[in-house]
Structure formats: structure tokens, C-alpha cells
Amino acid sequence: MSHAVTRTRVGRRGAPAIQSSSRPALTWVVEGADAGWLQAGASIELRRADGSRERVEHAGRDSANVAWPFAPLAAYDAVDVRVSAVSEAGEYAAFSEWTPVATGPLGADEWTAPFIASRDDRSEACALDATVARGATAADVRADLAADDADRGVTRLRRIVDIERPVARALLSYTGHGIVELTIDGREVSDDLFAPGWTAYADRLLFRTVDVTAELAEGTRILGARVAPGWYAEHFGFDGDFRRTWHGQRALSAQLRVEFADGTVDTIVTDETWEASIAGPVTFSSIYQGERYDARREDEALAAAVPFPGAAPAVRVAADPTRLRPAELPPVRVTETRDVVQRLAGADGGVILDFGQNLVGRLRIRLAAEAGTVVTLRHAEVLEQGELGRRPLRFAAASDTYVASGGPAEWAPRFTFHGFRYAQVDGISVDQIEVVAEVLHTDLVRTGTLRTGVADLDRLHENVVWGTRGNFVTLPTDCPQRDERLGWTGDIQVFAPTASFLFDVDGFLSSWLEDFAADQARLGGVGPLYSPLIDQDLFAPTPMAAWSDAATVVPTVLYERFGDRDVLERQFASMSAWVERVAQEAPNGHWHTGMQLADWLDPSAPADRPFEAQTDPYLVATAYYARSAALTARAARILDRAEDAARFEALAETARQAFQREYVFADGRLASDSQTAYALAIVFELLPHELYAPAGQRLATIVADGGHRIGTGFVGTPIVSDALTVTGHRDVAQGMLRTAELPSWLYPVSRGATTVWERWDSMLPDGTINPGEMTSFNHYALGAVADWMHRDMGGIAPLEPGYRRVLVRPRAGLTAAAGASYSSVYGEIRVAWSALEPERGELSPLAVTVTLPANTTAMIDLPGREALEVGSGTHTF
Ligand code: BGC
């Protein structure tokens, strides 16, 4: 008998340490158990601050995302929980360590802090809004972007407090209109960046809570804050149409609850006793445009009780507190620093630094320069003819400026981020400055890895990982570098399964889904094309297949990958409202109305008309209608809503019939004889039984005849490999993955890409940038093939929610020593295989090792042998 123990987690992985819910879900993992360990039950124990205890007996298998079994936590609670478990065979897993569970304010009811601003902040006046309304030229827009944002520096706020008695616990909660950073005695209270993040501000404004007990020693303390414009004040948009959606001053709302050792409690909130100033070193700040910093304007006002330049009592601003929610997603942090790998001569005597990796973040500079020296940092993802290729950035200047104050100094912009591999430094000689790149993104727990044994495929996979990191910055975006950077829904719809293997995105995407649902309600049930919405009326509110379908697909993926039933519950209204809205468009099941983005960026579409795909847009729309109705029906079954399930099953069947009627010929050919059309029909299960084989055969023929080159855009790319695989053409899928002919997944790799590109040919073979106005080098959508790689090459696929039962079926590319791992909510799954004689590099009999965590099972399906069911532990075949 082993010495098994449990490890207990409260809330979602990577979530803020202070809980966002009064009923956080519990997850425990049993370690060190005997093989085949399956949970029969568990004891969950709660310990309160006064020492009292409560115990709940939990019956059955569930051990991941288990509903909180005690009375709901109160605001500012602090308890401990621990779990022990017992297996069906009677093997006991000892209690975990006590896991502390703390809450801060849980919502508007506990929020007493007003929103305060500087009376000198005039940022509501925007010339650009008027210019755009009249129909602006690019030059007008550029001029106004600069002028409007010129007085957008950073508001600084301060309150001097006396801490007169020893502090037992202090929690600081904060949010604002803009990007908010809090300090105590001049030091940041947290390494979070970009708080409170971008949400549908009219409905949801998140706050963060951090424990600042250690910072509140007795004596005079300086509470300080910086509030930068950020998403709240940015002119967002594209195609020259830039809108500021939220109008008003940069504002802070913060409350500090101090529990003294003597049992008394004091709460300090933002009000008129705070001082506010718009003077300070950050003279300009914009996410698209960059930041300007004048070190000569630095002062000590946030660090000490010294005069505060430009300060006057803060003024209150109106703000609706009912929008306030505790942040449940992980914060943005700097997660890695990268050095320059190469210096190149740029135009006009400047120097171009190459970081060797297209990344998202900022530069940190260390320099010694004379006072008044102006250093500019311009960013770009690629070089074109030896120069920074900045045309694809469109209206985003992506430039930072630093004015030196003399003497040694260190600086990094704090309220902007850029997508870049290269940066040109001007205004200083290279020997006076040291530069590193800091990578930043929402700090998600990394869960999945894949080694293919093939260098180019490993690089492709690595590019997919970088695309995920760079585009998950408080919300899932299309791209991180040009103007735009919006929460495009089609992009995450196709990429969610891939992202969910690579990182634990449960808290991150479930938070975003609430913004999506809020925007959807505003659009009368139509899923938004991007969320949060901006005031652009370009397409709104047109129902568009594959984009609006994020409503049904993303919650389904989170349930399937993380066993998160709660997210289905929360999103069910959004899922069903979307399907009902499509039902209005397609009363007989055939959805053939309106503009559709459809198989966006099909490689055969003209560079400037990415929606002109070879696949009929209404074939795509009808397929997605069937898909979304089926997923909603499945969710209804899981949630025990039998009536809803029957309704959505019927809608799905109507759409399926319509698909067959309108687009399927008797021999299995489709009205659009394209890769995407067959992929949809096969993977979304829209065909009569006998037509899967002929449809698969036709798909395989199209792909093989096309030299294994890709013929899909956003819609077909994530599923074409699966369609080939399930119809018995895995070799063709492999051929597709292996070719580097344009268009293909490996073409960008052959061109030295370090991220996934927006277009199959963002960089043309002659080294020039694709002339399309929409050309990013960091878009994750086309990297969605990695989900198939994880399942079919890595051999790890979920058969039951949260990978409680795993399908282990490594197939494609079993010609090397390689493997995959996935840190599921149940624990670590590992599949490793070797088919090579290490010494001679020759093929040898396949050896596969599979490791499964306690309380899971797997179906092992290896080539040449019958599938078998196994329990937890390590198995070698
Ligand atoms: C974005 C895409 C998005 C598309 C839809 C583009 O500009 O970058 O990724 O899904 O627009 O129109």
C-alpha cells in the first residue's frame, strides 16, 4: 500500500489568490496512489479563523471543479480547507495540507469607494470623433489621433495615511476607468499589469484585490496610484474608423481594508481627501501609439510626504457601482526577458535590434545619457529590405519615447504593449544603452506540450504557443501589433481547443464569455463579431456564422477540456439566444441571409477581399447552424433541461436536413467542391451515413491533387486534418502538415517565422510583405491545426470532461522518439513513444509509455493491437 495524499486547489488555476466567488469550486488531485486508483468518496474539511471545523462527506468520482459544499463565504472571509479521499478499493489518500481561502469584496454590495479623478483631466474632448463622423482621410485621422491623445498623460493620485497600530491583515481592492497601478510608499503593490483589463465596461468592470499586510508597517504610509488612459480612453477601430467608446476622465476607485491586531477594522477609500495631478513623467500613453516619458519630470510624490507637483484635491466622478465584479482571470505579468540576438544597421544611422522571436511586450532600457537626450524605440514584427516593416501596423505608431534626465537610469513603458521581433533605437549611440525585451501576457498556467521529433513541426508548434501568449492579454485578440487588437470572436472560436490544451484558459475565457454575453444581449441575441464592442457600426448587428458561434463553441470547449459545468450553466442563456436568433434567419434550416465572413482568408481569395472564398458562405452558415444547435442541445442535456434539449435537437436536425438538401449530391460530392466544405460536412456530422466514405475520398483527392497544399481559411483549417483522419486518410493529413509549399503550415516556418501568421503568405516568397492591408505576423487562428496534432500525434484527447477518461491514440508521425504531456484538472497525463534505435537512427518496434493520474482511465489505442481500457499509473506497451 502506498502513501497517497491529496493536493487541494480552490478556484480555477492561475486565478487571483483572493477568491472571486463566495462558492469557489474545489479540485483535488491524489498523488502517490496505487495504479488504477478510482475515487469512491472524499472528506472535505473547513477550518474557520476561530478554530471551529466542519466536515462534508462527498460521495462518488467527482474530484475536479466540485461545487463548494459549505455555506457561501462572506466578503473578507478567511478559512482553510483540506480534502482526503478514498478509492473504490479502499485505499486511503491522506488529507492535503490546509489550503487557505480568502475573499475580499465580492461585488458592488461591499464596494464603498467613490471613483475619483483629477479636476484638470480634460480627456473627454475628442476631435477625432467629430473627424471620423464627417468621413476622414488617413491624414486627418493620424493628425487627430496625435492631437487628441496629446493631453493623455497619466493621472497620479495620493493619500498620506498614518498607521497607528500593528496590522493583522490589510486588503487593497482597486479598479478604475483606465489602466490602474497602485503603490504604497512608491512601490507597486502587485506585479499585475493592465488592471482592470478590458471588459464590456458598461456592464462589467473588474476589480482586483491584493494582500498588502507586509507593506503597511506602523508609521506614515503613502498610498499612491497611476491611472493611464488604456482601453477605456483609447480610440479603437480599424479601416480609419476609430471611436472612443467610453467618455470621461481617467478615474480610480480603491478601498483599503485594514484589520488591526487589536481586532478593530478601518477602511480607507478614494475620496476628496486624495490629491490628484496630471503632471508627471508619463506625458502621453496609448496602447496603439505607445508611451512618452520625460525623466526630467520625475518626482518623489508617490514615495514620500513631499510636495506633489500640480496636485489639487481629487474630484468625484459618477460611476455605476453595480458593474463591479471581482476579477476571476489571471493577471497580466511579465513572464520572460529576452536579450538582443543580433544588431543590424538601420536607415539614418539608427540601429535595429533583433530579439530572435516575434513577441508581445515592451523594451526595458538601461542607459546613461545627457539630460534632454531623446531616445525613440520603434517596433516591427518583420524586416523588409533591411528596414523595419511597419506598414502592417496601419494607424498604430507603436513607438515609445524616453527623454533622459542625465545620469544612469532604467525605464520600460508601463501602459502600452507592442508586437515585435525588431526594434529600432534612435537618438543615442548603442554603446550608451542596454536593451532587453520583456514578454507579457495574461499569466496562464501552461498545461500542454508536444514533441514531434521533427524540427520544423516542433517549430510550428512553438509558433502556435507564442501566438497564444501574445494574443491573450486580458482578452483573446486577433493580433497584438496593429490597430484593431480586438476580441474577434471567430478567431477564438476556431482556436479555443488548441489554446485549452496549451494553457489553462478556463478562468480567462469564461470571464471573456461574460463580456460576450453582455454584448450579445445589447445586439438582441446576435453574437458580437468582437467583444468588447466598440462604437463601430461596421457590421453590427449582423449574425455571422463562425464568429457569432463563439457563443456555443467556447463554453463547450471549456466544459470538455476542464470539466467546468459551471460555465455551461452561466452561458446557457447566451448559447440558446444565439441559436434562436439563427432559427429566425433560417426558418427551414437553410441559413442563406446577409453578409458572411465565412471561410475567411481562404488562400484562393484575392488579397484585398478575404471573404471571397471558394466555399459557399451559406454552406458554411448552414453547417454552423447545425453545429451550434447540436452543441446547445448537448449542453441542455448536461444541465438536465430536457425540454430545451429536445427543441435544439430538432433545430439541429432541421439544419442538417437543409444542408443535405441544398449542398449534398447523391454521390457524396458537395455543391462547393472545396476542402472546407468536405471538412465541415464530415466533422460536424452533417451527412447521411453512407456518404462519409465518398466525401472523405473526395477530400483526400482534392488535397492530394493540390500537392497537399492547404485550401482552407479560418473555418476549414482547424478541422480539415480531422476530416481526413476520421475518413481513413491520415497519410494525406500528414502530407498536408509536412509540405512547405505555399500555402501550407510549414511555409512560414521555412521563411523563419517564429509566430503563426494571419495569412498563409503574410511574407511573400520574394521577401516582400503581402500587399493586403490586413497582414499580421501574429494571428493564432491558422495555428488551430495544433489541436489535431495534440490528439493525433501527441495521442492525448478527452473522452470525458476534464480528461477524466482519455483517448490515447498517437498515430500520425510515429517515426521518432517523441511525446506529449498535459496537465489536466485531474493531474499530469504523459504519452511518450520511441520508434527509433537511438544509436543507429533506424526504425525499431514502437514502444509507448503512458502515465495517467489517479481517478482517471484511458482507452489505449495503438497501431496493430486491439484497443484496451486502463486505469491510472504508468503503462508500457
Ligand atoms: C481580424 C480577423 C477577424 C476579421 C473578421 C480582421 O481584421 O484581424 O482576425 O476575424 O477581421 O472580419
Closest C-alpha residue for ligand 1 atom 8: 478
Residue 609 above 60 pLDDT?
Answer: yes
Nearest to 656 by CA among 695, 677, 629, 636: 629
Residue 606 and residue 715: Cα distance in Å, rounded?
17
Report how far ligand 1's centroid is from the alpha carbon of 775 (Å): 10
- pLDDT at site 225: 98
pLDDT at 816: 78
Q: What is the pLDDT of residues 780-810, one digit of tens each?
A: 999 999 999 999 999 999 999 999 999 999 9
What atom of ligand 1 comes closest to residue 776's alpha carbon?
Answer: 8
- Find, among 288, 309, 396, 317, the residue nearest to 124 by Cα: 317
Mean local confidence (pLDDT), 513-536: 93
Q: Yes or no: say if 702 and 675 are a contact pair by the CB < 8 Å rule.
A: yes
> What is the identity of the amino acid at 625?
Y
Taking CB atoms and a 6 Å cutoff, what residues make up the pocket around ligand 1? 478-479, 484, 488, 490-491, 597, 600, 774, 779
Query: What is the reported pLDDT for 147?
Result: 62
- Model confidence at 248, pLDDT cuts 50, 70, 90, reads confident
E-state strands within 95-143? 99-103, 115-117
Strands 290-294 and 399-403, bridge-based pairing: parallel
The burial class, CB within 10 Å (0-12 / 13-18 / 19+), for 849 is middle
> 619 Cβ partners below 8 Å, 6+ apart?
659, 662, 663, 670, 671, 672, 677, 680
Q: Name the strand (E) or helix (H) holding 735.
A: helix 730-738
Nearest Cα residue to atom 1 of ligand 1:
478
Distance CA 535, CA 548 (A): 18
The β-bridge partners of 848 are: 833
Q: Which atom of ligand 1 is nearest to the CA of 491?
A: 10
Per-residue pLDDT tens for 712-761? 999 999 999 999 999 999 999 999 999 999 999 999 999 999 999 999 99
Identify the pLDDT of residue 23.
Answer: 97
Half-sphere exposure of residue 270, counting CA atoms within 13 Å on the CB side?
29
Range scoring the smallest mean pLDDT among 307-311, 418-422, 537-541: 537-541
CA-wise closest residue to 435 among 410, 459, 470: 410
Using DSSP's 3-state secondary structure scheme, residue 838 falls into: coil
What's the pLDDT tens digit per position in 529-588? Answer: 999 998 766 556 789 999 999 999 999 999 999 999 999 999 999 999 999 999 999 999
When pLDDT is cut at 50, 70 and 90, the band that residue 484 belongs to is confident
Q: Is the pLDDT of residue 607 over 90?
A: no
Please report, rounded to a whole number, the percentage of residues in the chain having pLDDT higher than 90. Answer: 85
Q: Domains, the chain, ranges and CATH?
A: 4-102 (2.60.40.10), 108-329 (2.60.120.260), 334-442 (2.60.120.260), 806-876 (2.60.420.10)
841 Cβ contact list (under 8 Å, min separation 6): none
Centre of ligand 1 from the C-alpha of residue 560, in Å: 27
Residue closest via CA to ligand 1's atom 2 equals: 478
CA nearest neighbour of 445 among 421, 475, 468 = 468
Looking at residue 534, what is its pLDDT? 87
Closest CA to 299 of 316, 322, 279: 279
Q: Note whether 485 and 416 are within 8 A (CB).
A: no
Ligand 1 atom nearest the C-alpha of 774 is 7
Provide the Cα torsion 621, 623, 625, 626; round to 10°.
Answer: 170
Cβ-proximal residues to 437 (8 Å cutoff; 6+ apart), any chain: 337, 338, 339, 355, 359, 361, 362, 363, 364, 420, 423
Distance CA 755, CA 469 (A): 10
Closest alpha carbon to 316 in 455, 113, 465, 498: 113
Residue found by looking up cell 509566430 in the block: 755
Rounded-to-integer distance, Cα 47 and Cα 484, Å: 49
Strand partners, 175: 253
Mean pLDDT of 383-388: 91
Q: Is 800 exposed, middle or buried (0-12, 13-18, 19+ CB in 10 A)?
A: middle
3-state helix, strand, coil in the chain (%, to 5): 25, 30, 40
Mutating to test ligand 1, I would choose from 475, 600, 779 the residue with most ligand atoms within 8 A of its C-beta, which is 600
**Per-residue pLDDT, 841:** 60
What are 733's three cell numbers?
493529413
For 836-864, write each residue's pLDDT tens digit: 665 666 666 788 999 999 999 999 999 88
Residue 838: predicted pLDDT = 57
N-to-C CA span, the chain: 25
Q: Which are the catalytic amino acids?
A: 484, 758
Q: Give yes or no for a cis peptide into 114 (omega within 30° of 0).
A: no
| Nearest CA among 840, 219, 254, 802 for reference residue 566 | 802
Alpha carbon nearest to ligand 1 atom 3, residue: 488
Mutate to test the pocket of ligand 1, among 395, 488, 492, 608 (most ligand atoms within 8 A of CB): 488
Cα 499 to ligand 1 centroid, rounded to whole Å: 18
* Distance between CA atoms of residues 804 and 563, nearest Å: 8
pLDDT for the residue 314 = 98
Ligand 1 atom closest to Cα of residue 714: 10
H-only helix segments in 605-669: 617-638, 642-663
pLDDT at residue 150, as a whole number: 46
Question: Mean per-residue pLDDT for 266-289?
Answer: 95
Atom of ligand 1 nearest to the CA of 478: 9
Ligand 1 centroid to Cα of residue 835, in Å, is 42
Q: How far is the CA of 478 from the centre of ligand 1 (A)?
A: 7
* Cα 80 to ligand 1 centroid, rounded to whole Å: 46
Amino acid identity, position 176 = G
Q: Quick one: pLDDT band at residue 1, thresholds 50, 70, 90?
A: low
Q: Whose CA is nearest to atom 9 of ligand 1?
A: 478
Q: Specify the ligand 1 atom closest to the Cα of 490.
A: 10
Distance, CA of 117 to CA of 491 (rounded, Å): 36
Alpha-carbon distance of 621 to 619, in angstroms, equals: 5
Q: Residue 180 above 80 pLDDT?
A: yes
DSSP structure class, residue 670: B
How many angstroms separate the CA atoms of 549 and 554, rounded?
8
Which 8-state DSSP code applies to residue 793? I
Q: What are phi and psi of 222, to 5 degrees?
A: -110, 110
**DSSP 8-state symbol, 782:** G
pTM given for the model = 0.96
Which is more confident, 773 or 776? 776
Which residues, 6 or more positions from 746, have their beta carbon under 8 angstroms from its beta carbon?
456, 457, 460, 737, 738, 739, 740
What's the grid cell of residue 424? 529600432
Cell representation of residue 68: 463548494
Q: Residue 317: is its pLDDT beyond 70? A: yes
Alpha-carbon 427 to chain mean position: 36
Residues in the chain: 877
Say whether 25 sits in a helix, a strand or coil: coil
Residue 311, pLDDT above cutoff 80? yes
Q: What is the mean pLDDT of the chain?
A: 93
- The model's pLDDT over 195-237, given as tens digits with 9 standing for 90+, comes to 999 999 999 999 999 999 999 999 999 999 999 999 998 888 7
Rounded to the nearest whole angstrom, what is the distance from the C-alpha of residue 381 to the centroid of ligand 1? 18
Give the Å distances, CA to CA, from 110 to 74, 103, 105, 172. Answer: 10, 11, 5, 13
CA 288 – CA 418 distance, rounded (Å): 8
